[in-house]
Amino acid sequence: MASSRKATVMLKAVKKIAVQFCPFESNVRSTREFLFAVASDKARSTNLNCEVITTVKHDKSEPVVDVTYVDGERLVMKGSNLTSSEMLNAFKARCMAKDPQAK
């Protein structure tokens, strides 16, 4: 996880990130770590217009991250089957592909 935190999360190509999870389930750690990375002040400063919405439910629902990019494309990740590193790597790869200046 340390290597994924070194590289800054760039939200330039992102319109909205919606994160939902039930905090009482055992499989929410990676989703919460992803949320921590994208909601940090440093990440948020890369796009002040990006909405980060957190929905905490108490219904034993699966943790889900739903990313909407400025071009309308969506990336939906189910956190119960992924590590936070896998989620961040997929997110960063898609962001870099959409922002030629990030390369």
Name the pTM for this structure.
0.87
Helices and strands per DSSP (H, E), number in the chain: 4, 4
Fold of 2-102: Glutaredoxin (3.40.30)
pLDDT category, 89, cuts 50, 70, 90? very high
* Contact between 12 and 102 (Cβ < 8 Å): yes
For the stretch 18-41, pLDDT in tens is: 999 999 999 999 999 999 999 999
Query: Burial, 91: exposed, middle or buried (Cβ in 10 Å; 0-12, 13-18, 19+)?
Result: buried
Could you state, in order of their start, the residue ranges of all structural domains in the chain?
Answer: 2-102
